[in-house]
Amino acid sequence: MGVSAMNGSEWLCLWYLRLNGYFTIPNFYAHGRKGALAEIDMLGVRFPYSTEFPDDPALSIPKEGIDMIFAEAKTKQIETLNGPWNSPERGALDYVLKRIGIVPSEKVAEVTKDLYTKRRASIQGGTVRIICFGESIGKELSTQGVTFLPWREVLVFVHKRFYNNDRLKADHEAWDLFGQYLWMRLSNHEVPDVDSFFAGWQKR
């Protein structure tokens, strides 16, 4: 799936992570011999010495090592993590870790076990964790160890980043269409309502 097929929540997730120093891969498919095992909305990786503007404390970025994230991005509430996140027998997360190559093959099972039970895992040289972006998350999911970013806080962060650095960000003609939409809605205005922000992108 290419970026042209991404929805508004996936686009906003991608831009927010980029503004916090992450390299991103959207719509990552885990393939099995009988077809797709699962789709991960966004993969992100941040290296330990990344510096630019202050990053969002709400991301709880580890102070040392690489931060590898698997992000789930939904417009409304995320009640539970479905599919690959709760089905060890399907092996989707095993596939993803082997394909990325962030841990040796013999360590993959150990890391995925922690991701299924704790939603994060420590690895040599860094951390792998699951992050949810949405309007809200279910009560049970909120106790499982995921990092949760509500869209309202994401928009507030992006607005502040643009507003405080308007001269540096003013040259944005080369940005993709969503980036230009972000700039239009957030650079010189109050933070928009989340629903109207997504609706405006959908109607563009």
- pLDDT per position in the chain (204 positions), as tens? 445 578 999 999 999 999 999 999 998 877 666 656 677 899 999 999 999 999 999 999 998 899 999 999 999 999 888 666 777 777 788 888 988 899 999 999 999 999 988 999 999 999 999 999 999 999 888 888 899 999 999 999 999 998 888 776 667 788 899 999 999 898 877 899 999 999 999 988
Domain segments of the chain as ranges:
3-190
Bridge-based pairing of strands 147-150 and 126-134 is parallel
> Residue 13 has what pLDDT?
97
How confident is the model at residue 1, as a pLDDT?
45
Task: Give pLDDT, residue 35.
Answer: 58
Q: How far apart are CA 125 and CA 66, in angstroms?
A: 6
